[in-house]
Amino acid sequence: MNEFVQTLLISCIPAIVTGFVTYLVAHKNTSAQIKVVKEQNKHDLEKLMEQHKIDIDSLGKQHQQELEKMELEHKHKLELISKENENNLSQNLMTGLVGEIMKMPEAKAEIAKGIRQSSNKKGGRR
């Protein structure tokens, strides 16, 4: 039985030592790979943050340009409405003045006189 234990120890001890050494090497390699992956992730994250800042700045500038464009469009619309109102006011004043003048008997008489003279000149030329 002693020989059996001796044979067992001769085969098991190198296997145990080899297994332990393999474990240590694998642990060391895994730790190194984890550090590499962490560094890569750190750099990727920094790049993403930089790109995010650039995108935010770009969106801010785009928003500012759109805001300025909308303000200009609004200003032009206000100017257009103002001009239309001035034209309407002028037309209303002229229409009102002509209407008031037409109500006056003197104006009616003058218009009738002008029409008669114009008719006489046309009739005399023929």
108 near 102, Cβ under 8 Å? yes
Q: What pLDDT is stored for residue 5 in this prediction?
A: 86
Query: Residue 53 pLDDT more than 90?
Result: yes
Q: What pLDDT is stored for residue 42 in this prediction?
A: 96
Number of domains in the chain: 1
pLDDT band at 19, cuts 50/70/90? Answer: very high
Q: How confident is the model over 86-97, as a mean pLDDT?
A: 78
> 32-41 long-range contacts, Cβ below 8 Å, gap at least 24?
none
Instruction: Give me the domain span that covers residue 75.
Output: 2-125
Q: What is the pTM of this model?
A: 0.47
- The fraction of the chain above a pLDDT of 70, given in percent, is 95
Query: Residue 51 pLDDT more than 70?
Result: yes
Q: What pLDDT is stored for residue 41 in this prediction?
A: 96
Sign of the CA dihedral 13, 15, 17, 20?
Answer: negative
Q: What pLDDT is stored for residue 103 in this prediction?
A: 74
Q: What pLDDT is stored for residue 97 in this prediction?
A: 66
Q: How confident is the model over 101-119, as a mean pLDDT?
A: 80
Phi/psi of residue 103, nearest 5 degrees: -75, -20
Residue 53 or residue 108, greater confidence = 53
